[in-house]
Every structure is written in structure tokens, then in C-alpha cells.
Amino acid sequence: MKQYVIDQIRPDDQHRLKAYLDQKYTASAIDGVYWVPLKPALFKPIQAQHTQCQPFYFAFELANGQLSCELLVRTQQRIRCGCMQYADNAQRDWLMNLLDRILDELHIKL
């Protein structure tokens, strides 16, 4: 699995990050995993066409002093579909910029 990982998060910062994720995003059935919706303007053509699979998400996992972000764009509507693909450059850049904004907003320095 391709991932973007931020590690060495201090315990106090992890608690603040968890509170932020709990407030802003939908928690999955798995503890510490959150669904972060991808902006529709960034959908690939196949994702835009698959309206039955929308919305699309990145999965974030907060655990053990690190935040892992899968680079796979997922749907909650199906287990497998051709529209579930690894992020392209624009989607990946959006994800990394989002994480930078979250860390800045929470004043978390790594």
C-alpha cells in the first residue's frame, strides 16, 4: 500500500490531532481510522463518471504517534471498482497540503 506517513507525533499533539479528526471527519468502524472526502473538482474522469460510487475518500489512520494516509482514493459504496485508484499528482498534492494546513492550525511542529 502506498502511504504518506507523519511520524514522531508527541502524545499531547496526538490527542489534539485526534480531537480535530473526531470533529471534522467521519470515523470508520475501525478505531483511529477516518474518512477524509476528496474535493469533487479533483476527481479523475472515471471518478466523475461513477456517480454511484461517489463520494470518494482518503483513509487516515492515527495510531502510535503517527498519522498514516493511504494514497488510494476509495469509495464506501463498493469494495472494488475501476474508479478506486491511487491518487494522481493533483490529488496527492491536495492531500499533503491539507495535512500541512491541519498541522499548522493545531500548531503541531515536527
Q: What is the pLDDT of residue 39?
A: 94
Would you list the domain boundaries of the chain?
3-104
pTM: 0.89
The DSSP code sequence of 3-65 is EEEE----HHHHHHHHHHHHHHSEE-SSTTEEEEEPPGGG--HHHHH-GGG-SEEEEEEEETT
Q: What is the pLDDT of residue 73?
A: 96
Is the Cβ–Cβ distance between 104 and 67 less than 8 Å? no
Residue 71 has pLDDT above 90, yes or no: yes
Please state which CATH number belongs to domain 3-104.
3.30.530
Residue 60 has pLDDT above 90, yes or no: yes
Q: What's the pLDDT band for 76 if we cut at 50, 70, 90?
A: confident
- Which residue's entry shows cell 497540503? 97
Q: What is d(CA 40, CA 63) in angstroms, rounded to the nearest whole number?
A: 28
